[in-house]
Structure 1
Amino acid sequence: MTSTIFSNWLCEWDKELQAKSKFILLLIDNCAAHLKNVELKNITLEFLPPNTTSFDQPLDMGIIKNLKVKYRIKLVNFILEKIEEKLFDSSATANQISGKINILQAIQFVFESWREVS
């Protein structure tokens, strides 16, 4: 997410809400992409206090963290397998090898990781 993408999306949504004469309050975190100076008519932005993610968004600390750990394990195992199979020259770094993963492989890693989350 970038600030440009977020701002464009927010402005488009604001236009849709204006057409429907609807007003909303949107609670958002303090991600750097979430700009505070966006001119909106039908959306009021309210920012969560800094450093409260673990209290306000418990999924970030539990389920999502668990998913990320399982995904990273799959990624590291993939890199180690490729090194053992000698599919890359000996000077290749882990970053270079992980950069060779395509979207389908990444989706499969996420899918498999999600199935392992209890």
Structure 2
Amino acid sequence: MVVGTNATGSEKLPLLILGTAKRPRWLRVKPDGVDYKGVGKGWMTAAVFSEWLQDLEARMAAEDRRILLLVDNAPSHKVPEEATPHVRVVKLPPNTTAAIQPMDQGVIATLKARVMDAQTEAIMQAHMHGEEDPHQIKLAQALQWCKQAWDDIPAETIKHC
């Protein structure tokens, strides 16, 4: 999952969910404000990061804005050779997750907890209604939970991380 926001939480980037299915047949309609990318093991790759960064660059150029993007030191976070004049990328030092990467512990932890709550509620409801396999979740539904959880995280939560 790729999560991005400004420091005050007043502007959130659309989520990018990474999965293993390249072209999931069951994902005919995805919710606005969330993207899905099928990649091998479902992990970020340099190619996916580069594509995401170029999309962000295009968006910032269209809005005539310049931003600073802080990323962790994952090997997939390669800054492309071509210039991104509207998005300056700075890699944070290794082994600093707890100290200076607040998205990991605050925002992402909150997001994951909210998604898990939605999943648990759906499973309980399906079980109560006697559905054959209450644990079977459709990708479109999971993406909707992610989007809703992201939308529901208040700016104050982000600002205080």
Contact 1:71 1:113 in 2 (8 A): no
The answer for the alignment partner of 1:21 in structure 2 is none
Query: Does 2:124 match 1:80?
Result: yes
Unmatched tracts of structure 2, length 5 or more: 1-15, 17-43, 62-66
Q: In structure 1, what residue type is equivalent to 2:77?
A: H
Specify the SS of the correspondent of 2:153. Answer: helix
Deviations 1:37-73 (A, max 9, x none): x323466754212231222222431243123213211
Number of matched pairs: 106
Query: Does 2:78 match 1:61?
Result: no
The answer for the alignment partner of 1:28 in structure 2 is 71
The answer for the alignment partner of 2:82 in structure 1 is 40
Q: In structure 2, what residue type is equivalent to 1:6?
A: F
Query: Does 2:150 match 1:106?
Result: no
TM-score (norm 2): 0.44
CA RMSD of aligned residues (A): 4.2
Query: Does 2:51 match 1:8?
Result: yes
Specify the SS of the correspondent of 1:102. Answer: helix
Deviation at 1:84, TM superposition (A): 2.1
Identity of aligned residues (%): 27
Name the structure with the higher helix share.
1
Larger Rg: 1
Q: Distance in 2 between matches of 1:56 and 1:114?
A: 20
